[in-house]
Amino acid sequence: MEENRQVFEVDEDAYGGMNVHIKESMDSIKFIALLRASISQWTNQGKKGVWIKLHIEYAHLVNDAVKEGFWYHHAEATYLMLVYWIPQTPHTIPANASHRVGIGALVINDNGEVLVVQEKNGTFKGTGVWKLPTGVVDEGEDICDAAIREVHEEAGIKAEFVELLAFRQSHKSFFGKSDLFFVCMLKPLSYNIQKQDSEIEGAQWMAIEEYAAQPFIKKHEMFNKIAEICLAKKENKYNGFSKVLMTSAFSTKRTYLYYSQNS
């Protein structure tokens, strides 16, 4: 019994990984003693991966874990996840998140006009380019919902998701991470623009042809192709992917599958 009190409490996952969650402050001496005793016991038990989730308030233990052979797996604002692999074989630790996800919203009104904005910051600042509303998909947010949210935030327009038109994958867009950008078509449910002042310089309804004819758009192959898709969509000559809510017999998760329903 005495010996059991000297190892960390853990949750064991389905892959034999031991998950340590430090819940109380401790000094390096106690942390290292517990860690060594725990690893020793788990080695004897044939365990494999060891995860330590260290809240930022326990940052003083990061160096101790690293000195014991742990490395970094990922971090969020309030914690650092460290990982260690017990066997002599190559580790099978899953990869960290690799992509940021963004959306662009094509909102076409009944007059065949598209909602466009000018941004106060970023690449297009001061260029006079009118662009589709864009934004980053929040953690845990559906792509379709992110498009609706950004259109409402940037221009005060309520809208509903119609179709996913296209997407782009690019690399090394920030800190070596990759980027997925989804162009979503939305149907507006309101028409009076109320632009957000902090990020948006201007917002208006513009003829799609005028949007597509901007020199910046014409010069840039991808923007030009997306503009062509917008023009085709206005004429009902393009079919993207619909979103369909999927249920599962195995979990209560709500998951969207995006696929073509017009083929």
Active site residues: 153
Tell whether residue 167 is a contact of a copy of itself (CB under 8 A).
Answer: yes
Q: Which of 9, 12, 40, 94 binds a copy of itself (CB under 8 A)?
A: 94
The C-alpha atoms of residue 211 and residue 207 are separated, in whole angstroms, by 6
**CB nearer to a copy of itself: pick between 56 and 189:** 56
Task: Figure out which of the listed residues 111, 197, 237, 252 binds a copy of itself, where binding follows CB under 8 A.
Answer: 237
Give the Cβ contact number of residue 86 at 10 Å. 19
**165 near a copy of itself, judged by CB under 8 A:** yes
Residue (170 or 190) nearer to a copy of itself, CB: 170
Which residues between 105 and 124 bind a copy of itself (CB under 8 A)?
121
Contact 151, 115 (CB under 8 A): yes
CA-CA-CA-CA torsion sign (155, 161, 166, 167): positive
Which residues in 72-91 contact a copy of itself (CB under 8 A)?
A: 72-81
Q: In whole angstroms, how close is the CB of 2 to a copy of itself at the nearest point?
A: 31
Residues in contact with a copy of itself, counted by CB under 8 A, come to a total of: 77
Q: Taking contact as CB under 8 A, which single stretch among the options 108-116, 147-155, 185-193, 237-245 is the one that binds a copy of itself?
A: 237-245
Buried b (16+ CB within 10 A) or exposed e, 105-126: bbbbeeeebbbbbbbeeeebee
Degrees, nearest 5: CA angle 146-220-157: 30
- The residue range among 3-11, 34-42, 205-213, 216-224 that interacts with a copy of itself, by the rule CB under 8 A, is 216-224
Q: Of 159, 226, 227, 230, which one interacts with a copy of itself (CB under 8 A)?
A: 226
Q: Please give the angle made by the CA atoms of 217, 222 and 223, to the nearest 5 degrees.
A: 30
Q: Examine residue 263 and tell whether it contacts a copy of itself (CB under 8 A).
A: yes
Rg, C-alpha atoms of the chain: 25
Q: Does 231 bind a copy of itself (CB under 8 A)?
A: no
Q: What is the DSSP letter of 77?
A: T
